C-alpha cells in the first residue's frame, strides 16, 4: 500500500502540497524538497505494517 507524504509546513497554512508517495513498509528519515516552502523538510517514516514494528523491534 502506498501513502502520500504532504509538507507539514504547508499543511499548517492550510495548503495540501503533496511531496511524494512511499510504500507502507518504508522506514527511516527522508528530506524531500518542498517547492512551496523552498526548503528540505525532514520526514521520519516508521513502517507500521512491518511485523518487527508490531513486536517492538525496530
What is the rounded average pLDDT of the residues 12-33?
88
Q: Which helix H or strand E contains 11, and what residues bound it?
A: helix 8-12
Nearest to 50, CA basis, from 20, 22, 26: 26
Question: Structural domain boundaries of the chain?
Answer: 2-53
Q: How high is the pLDDT of residue 50?
A: 54
Confidence of residue 38 (pLDDT cuts 50, 70, 90): very high
Question: Do residues 23 and 46 touch, judged by C-beta distance below 8 A?
Answer: no
Q: How many helices (H) and strands (E) does the chain have?
A: 2, 6
Say what the pTM is.
0.67
Instruction: Select the more confidently predicted residue: 7 or 25.
Output: 7
Amino acid at each position: 500500500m502506498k501513502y502520500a507524504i504532504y509538507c507539514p509546513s504547508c499543511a499548517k497554512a492550510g495548503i495540501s502540497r503533496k511531496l511524494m508517495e512511499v510504500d507502507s513498509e518504508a522506514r527511516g528519515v527522508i528530506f524531500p524538497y518542498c517547492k512551496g516552502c523552498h526548503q528540505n523538510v525532514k520526514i521520519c517514516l516508521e513502517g507500521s505494517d512491518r511485523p518487527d514494528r508490531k513486536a517492538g523491534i525496530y
